[in-house]
Amino acid sequence: MTNGSFVASRPLTQRSAWTRAVGAVAVLFVVNLVALELLMLISTLAHWSGDVHTRAEVGIGSAIIGEVVFLVLLIWWLHREHLTLDDLGLRKRPKAWAVFVAVAFAVAYGLVTASNPGLRPNLGLHDFLKAEAVVAAVVAGIVEEVVSRGYFIFELQRARVPAWLQIVGSGLVFGIAHFNYSVYGVASAALLGLVFGAIYQFGKRSLAPVIAGHAVIDLIIEPALILWVLSGFPIPH
């Protein structure tokens, strides 16, 4: 029996499972928030420009830093539990259909989001901010799917939470975590989380398809989305 299967077989109450799963997402949010506040402080002390592009660079840069720091903390936590990222499905061979569905859904989701008139003016950016967004897309794809799908569902599975509730819980918490993107942002992120949760669950719990899908979405819509949000959600006429 592997370490992962041994830990998964250990009893865990549903209350504890939900606390650990939701808590992990909350910790990711807090770490990202701390990284943002620190980088904003540095930008103020260094007298960086306060224009929306610079603020977006700070926001995306802090997200990269925060998520990398969180990933290190998660690896440390998993090590204490005699687990690795592989136990969550990081390097598990994906099902071909799961990759196809995840990427196809991601492209459709990204294009629908990009059709928002508020995003269109910045979709064609090819500058440092876009390069930073590409890095963030890869980092967010890995880290956010590892915690929101991999760790979240792994903990609920240990407590024998029904599969459908694992998917719904993962999606709803993922949506709530995007509360700063308006009610529409919460709803669309929750939908994304539900679809990715189902793909992960029924795709033999390989993280590769959902990581790829998540990265594709961010590659399409960022940095246009964050620029729109930081500008106050304007709709051009």
Closest among 144, 116, 189, 118 to 25, alpha carbons compared: 144
Give 121's DSSP letter.
G
CB atoms within 10 A of CB 95: 16
Burial 6-40 (b: 16+ CB within 10 A, else e): ebbeeebeeeebbebbbebbeebbebbeebbeebe
- pLDDT, position 168: 98
> What is the predicted pLDDT for the residue at 235?
80
| Among the listed residues 11, 33, 28, 14, the one whose alpha carbon sits nearest the alpha carbon of residue 173 | 28
Write the Ramachandran bin of 47: left for phi over 0, alpha for psi from -120 to 50, otherwise beta.
left
User: Which residue carries 């961010």 as its tokens?
Assistant: 218
pLDDT of residue 234: 87
Question: What's the confidence (pLDDT) of residue 6?
Answer: 46
Q: What is the mean pLDDT of each run of 10 residues along the chain (237 residues)?
A: 52 92 97 97 94 96 98 98 96 97 98 95 93 98 98 96 97 94 91 98 97 98 95 83
pLDDT at 1: 42
Where are the chain's structural domains? 12-230
pTM of the model: 0.94
pLDDT for the residue 182? 82
Rounded-to-integer distance, Cα 111 and Cα 108, Å: 5
CA–CA separation, 134 and 153 (whole Å): 27
- 85/52 Cα distance (integer angstroms): 36
Residue 112: CB atoms within 10 A of its CB come to 12
